[in-house]
Structure 1
Amino acid sequence: MSEISQLSFTLRDVTVALLREQNIKEGVWVLGVEMSIVVGNMGPEPQSALPTAMLQIPKFTLVRHEGEEAAVGFAVNAATIA
């Protein structure tokens, strides 16, 4: 059997894992993603530089949704996690 070299997780999977890690057992939660964008002219040589954007993801945040119903499809009700 070959060695696993890549694993993928949905937003819901990551939200559930973080709720378990933080021992959160109530409320409806979603995963927030903080992003920063940097723009400039970039290229291997100044003559071939083009407008470029780079996206940084410095952190993820668990955000509690106020209300009983899920705000989005990947929201997780912590009370339903085993």
Structure 2
Amino acid sequence: MHLSSPARTEQIEPMIEKHLTTTEVSKLTGIAPGTLRFWRSVDRGPASFALTPKRVVYRLSELEKWIAAREAATTRGGIL
């Protein structure tokens, strides 16, 4: 049996990114899962992709970018 060297593991770890389910994104943002599904169908909201035919996920980095863009687009009064 061959064990991975620490250097090899360090090279792989940065490539692995946290993926969130629709339910997890909903809990983090307060946006209903149904709204997230609707937004996917009309190409709105945070970027997502189908990991398998029945499993949609969101990259944490993409969710953070989307939130930052929403924040930047919002005026001080909270009106877009």
Query: What is the TM-score of this pair, normalised by structure 2?
Result: 0.22
Structure 1 or 2: larger helix share?
Answer: 2
Structure 1 or 2: larger strand share?
Answer: 1
Instruction: Name which one, 1 or 2, has greater alpha-carbon Rg.
Output: 1
1 or 2 for the larger relative contact order (CA 8 Å, sep ≥6)?
Answer: 1
